Amino acid sequence: MTQIFLNEAVKREIDKVSEAAQYLWQREWAERNGGNISVDVTEIFGELPPSLDSFPHCKLSMVGDDQFPKESAGHIFFVKGTGERIRELDQPQLAGCILRIDDDAQGYHILWGGRDLPDYAPTSEFISHVEIIMQKQQAGSADRCVVHTHPIELIALSHHPKYAHDEELYTHVCWQMIPEVRAFVPRGIGIVPYCMPGSKTMADGTKEKLAKHDVAIWEKHGAVATGVDALTAFDFIDVANKGAKLFLMCLASGYEPEGVSKQAMHELKETFGL
C-alpha cells in the first residue's frame, strides 16, 4: 500500500485535530462514533507524486448519488473515517485519513492513513463538510476546519420548547450568562430544525446558518462550527456551550437568571467591535 510522507505543517494541523478530539471526548460530547472533523490542508500539503495511480481510489458514483462541489476539485483534506471514534483520533493514521479530491470532483484518492483499507471511507458527513469549507473560502474566510459534535447543554437547550424554535432568543440566553460568550461567539448561534442526519436538508440548512453565525445547532442532535483550525472551531462550540450550561444550571436551581443586561452587552459590542 502506497502512503505519502507528511510535512511538518500538515502534521501540526493533524496534531490540533488529535488535541481537539480529546477535548470532545473528555467533555462527553463524542460517544461511540459520534461527531466528525475535517480539515482542508491543500495550501500546506506541498508536492504531490507525479502519479496517484498506486493510491487507493474511490469513485463517488459507486457509493451514492451525492457529489463533491466542483470547486473542491484537487483539494486535500484530513478527515475522520466513517464509524471511527473521535477518541481514537490520537492515532490519526487509523481513525482518519488524508485524501485528495479528483480533478473532476467525482471521487478521491486516499494518500495517507485509513485503518481498514480498502474498505475505509471518510465520514458520511464529508461532502457536507467540503461544501461548508468551499462556501467559507468563496466568502474570503480563512476557515479550513469543520467540527461536528454533541455538546450536552447546547443539545439540551435545543429541546426546550421556548428556545428551540427561536434562534435569536436561544443566542441571547447563552450570550447573557458571561461576557465571554457575547465576545467570542459574536455572530451568535443559528438553529437547523430537526431533520434526518446526513440529509440534503441538513447540509443546506447548516451552510445557510454558518454563513451568518459562528455555531449551527442541529436541533435535538448537535452542533457544527468552522475555524481556521480544529482548536478554533472547537472553541466556538465550547464557549457557546458554557452559556447554555450556565443558563440551564440556573433554571435547574429554580430561577430565571438575571443575565448581563442588554445595555452592558451593547457596550461589549461597541468596545470590542463585535
| Residues near Zn ion, by CB under 5 A | 222
Contact present, 149 and 222 (Cβ < 8 Å):
yes
Closest contact distance (angstroms) between CB of 91 and Zn ion is 21
- Percent helix, percent strand, percent coil in the chain, to nearest 5: 45, 15, 40
Residue nearest to Zn ion (CB): 222
Question: Closest CB to Zn ion among 188 and 222?
Answer: 222
125 among known catalytic residues: yes
Nearer to Zn ion, 157 or 246 (CB): 157
Element (H, E) at 136: helix 126-138
The C-alpha cell at 242 is 458554557
Minimum distance from residue 245 beta carbon to Zn ion (Å): 19
Write the DSSP symbol of residue 260. S
Residue from 72, 88, 73, 103 nearest 37 by CA: 88
SS3 call for 20: helix
Q: Which of 84, 125, 153, 167 is catalytic?
A: 125
Q: Which is nearer to Zn ion, 160 or 221 (CB)?
A: 221
Minimum CB separation of residue 263 from Zn ion in Å reads 38
Place of cell 471526548: 25
Question: What number of other Cβ atoms are within 10 A of residue 66's Cβ?
Answer: 15
The least distance separating Zn ion from the CB of residue 211, rounded to whole angstroms, comes to 21
Cβ–Cβ under 8 Å, residues 190 and 202: no
Residues in the chain: 274
Q: Which residues are catalytic?
A: 125
